[in-house]
Chain A
Amino acid sequence: KQEVTQIPAALSVPEGENLVLNCSFTDSAIYNLQWFRQDPGKGLTSLLLIQSSQREQTSGRLNASLDKSSGRSTLYIAASQPGDSATYLCAVNSNAGNMLTFGGGTRLMVKP
């Protein structure tokens, strides 16, 4: 059974810092991995999706990497801003088209 873990559970940084969020998964036989953002009381917003054959994906100040063999992904946020404050969730798709298995999330606070 796939298990996904995110470290740290919470993170507080001053504005402008670069930061890295970590995600690990137990079964490396994945189809893809998605990073989501969730604001309080809201649904999930997809940030980046990495296919199993890819090493990284970039969108603006966000960069997600994938090391499938070691069961790890990282989300790098450059020049953090207070508007980046949210919970970031990592989710693994282990079988094309089927359900996502989510990590517990990292709650990020960026202080002005």
Chain B
Amino acid sequence: GAGVSQSPSNKVTEKGKDVELRCDPISGHTALYWYRQSLGQGLEFLIYFQGNSAPDKSGLPSDRFSAERTGGSVSTLTIQRTQQEDSAVYLCASRGTGGNYEQYFGPGTRLTVT
């Protein structure tokens, strides 16, 4: 089937506004990851969902960031009261239940906070 999809592909928002980024994983994949890629920091892990387990939120940079995964499929990453340092590309990946734990990435959402 289709790969990982993300929307929107680009988002420009004003400082202080809230934004929602969406990820549709590969059908049947039980694990879903959010990463952030910024110029100064490289590619960093944000949050990880596995089935019905509590998510691993250890990479979220502040309490302005949150994510949910509804019905074990689609995930939404929400950033409240956006700051300029939130400008980055937000990448989503999913993984199936196969033994090699290979992650498949979406095209990303480029967020610009003005």
Contacts and interface: CB of A to CB of B under 8 A. Distances in A.
Do chains A and B interact in one complex? Answer: yes
A43 B42 contact: no
B101 A96 contact: yes
B101 A46 contact: no
A64 B56 CA distance: 30
Interface residues of A, number: 25
Interface of B: 4, 31, 33, 35, 42-45, 48, 50, 56, 59, 91, 93, 95, 100-108, 110
Contact of A100 (B4, B56, B103, B108): B103
A43 B106 contact: yes
A49 B102 contact: yes
Contact of A97 (B44, B45, B95, B106): B95
Contacts of A63: none
Task: Specify which of B45, B100, B106 lies most central, judged by the most chain A CB atoms within 10 Å of its CB.
Answer: B100
A44 B45 CA distance: 14
Interface of A: 31-32, 34, 36, 41-46, 49, 51, 89, 91, 93, 96-105
Contact of B48 (A36, A43, A98, A102): A98
13 contacts: A34-B102, A43-B91, A43-B105, A43-B108, A49-B102, A91-B43, A97-B95, A97-B101, A98-B48, A99-B33, A99-B35, A99-B56, A102-B44
A100 B44 CA distance: 8
A98 B56 CA distance: 9
B45 A100 contact: yes
A34 B45 contact: no
